[in-house]
Amino acid sequence: MPTDPNTALLFFAAGLIGIYAECCFPGIVIPGTVGGVFFLLSIAGFVEMGVRPTAAAMVLAGFLLLAGEAWFQARWVLAVAGGVLIATGFIRLHQGMRPVLAASVSIPLAVLTALLFSIAVRASENKKQSKGVVFWHSADIFSSVGSTPITRVRSTDRIDS
């Protein structure tokens, strides 16, 4: 478990990147497992060090704003606000945090998160739209079936081969 806030921040970023990699390429298992372990170790380290609750709330609110940007497509206004909240929250998270390291890690992480959220929302919308689309025209269906009417075969009729 990391006892330095800067190491815990790097573990947090590595954990999220591993989880993102698992979401982008499901079934590989290793990036998600390693990312989950790093993420949980960073959270445990932050809790053990005693973080400021308002700073943790700022980080959480920043990630929620990034998700809101992907959902509402607010022309990157929510994404910028979320990135600023995440960077400020990480800088203020612990007294021993280096501001330059916190900003240089959290801003690219926020941009990556916003891009992946927007890709996920667009993929979900495309999937919803493709369910309602009819790919066959009615003329194609009738021409493939044939123009002869279907007749009922009675059990007393003989079928000649």
pLDDT in tens, 13-71: 999 999 999 988 888 889 999 999 999 999 999 999 999 999 999 999 999 999 898 88
In a shared domain, residues 45 and 56: no
Greater confidence (35 vs 135) lies with 35
Tell me: do 86 and 32 sit in the same domain: no
Q: How far is CA 20 from CA 23, 52, 109, 143, 157, in A?
A: 5, 26, 11, 48, 65
Does pLDDT of 135 surpass 60? no
In this structure, are 4 and 63 located in the same domain? no
Q: Assess if residue 16 is contained within a domain.
A: yes
Contact in structure between 91 and 103 (CB atoms under 8 Å): yes
The mean pLDDT of 66-81, rounded to a whole number, is 88
In-domain check, residue 70: yes
The domain in which residue 99 lies consists of 51-122
The domain tally of the chain equals 2
Contact by Cβ (8 Å): 25, 14: no
pTM flag (> 0.75): no
